[in-house]
Amino acid sequence: MNDHVVYFAHGKESGPWGTKITALAEVAKAKGFHVESPDYSSMMDPEARVQELLDLKPAAKKHLVLFGSSMGSYVSTVASQHIKPDGLFLLAPAFYRAGYEKQNPLPVAKITMVVHGWDDELIPVDDIVKYAKEHKARLLLVDSDHRLMSALPLIEKCFADFLDEILKI
């Protein structure tokens, strides 16, 4: 078992090593984290993805972080209730979505950070502001859309700072 681990959960229509996850995995590795990025692309049901993550039994000797993008944020947040990671880092979280069992999943982590685009065409920004406020999650709103690609350099810096903070826990 590794000392510090990040488990990535990709979005509904992406894969385990898309552009964002690949870039952020490099940030994590530079901070001494081992990275895992399971492939959920054969599963369209968010609850099946949650169960798959739980079945993988994510663990670390010292610091565990769950990371999610879009549907992956839902997966990581619901799984956090059982796994209780040190950190939960969520990009454009798919909350308050039709067909999802939990509309407003409780994040269970020492630190929860949400990054969302002002111009997200799929997940209304107001929903995410409401979510962050209710759960006292940190929130960074960026000038971007759902994919957040135009904000990737800023997200990389934010993730690096987040991991530095996790390492101090």
Q: What is the pLDDT of residue 2?
A: 96
- Say yes or no to pLDDT of 89 above 90: yes
Q: Which band of pLDDT confidence, cut at 50, 70 and 90, is reported for residue 67?
A: very high
Structural domain contains residue 151? yes
Q: What is the pLDDT of residue 32?
A: 98
How many separate domains does the chain show? 1
Structural domain contains residue 37? yes
Q: What is the pLDDT of residue 163?
A: 98
Tell me what the pLDDT averaged over the chain comes to. Answer: 97
Q: What is the pLDDT of residue 1?
A: 87
Structural domain contains residue 47? yes
CATH number, domain of 128, equals 3.40.50.1820
Using DSSP's 3-state secondary structure scheme, residue 7 falls into strand
Amino acid at 71: M
Structural domain contains residue 17? yes
Tell me how far the alpha carbon of residue 57 is from its chain's centroid: 17
List the domain range (segments joined by +) for residue 64. 8-167
Contacts of 167 (CB under 8 A, 6+ apart): 4, 31, 32, 63
Angle made by CA atoms 113, 137, 67, in degrees to the nearest 5:
30
Sheet holding 34-36, edge to edge: 34-36, 4-9, 63-69, 87-91, 111-117, 138-142
Structural domain contains residue 2? no
Q: Which of 36, 55, 34, 134 is nearest to 93 (CA)?
A: 134
Q: Which band of pLDDT confidence, cut at 50, 70 and 90, is reported for residue 105?
A: very high
Structural domain contains residue 82? yes
- Say yes or no to pLDDT of 111 above 90: yes
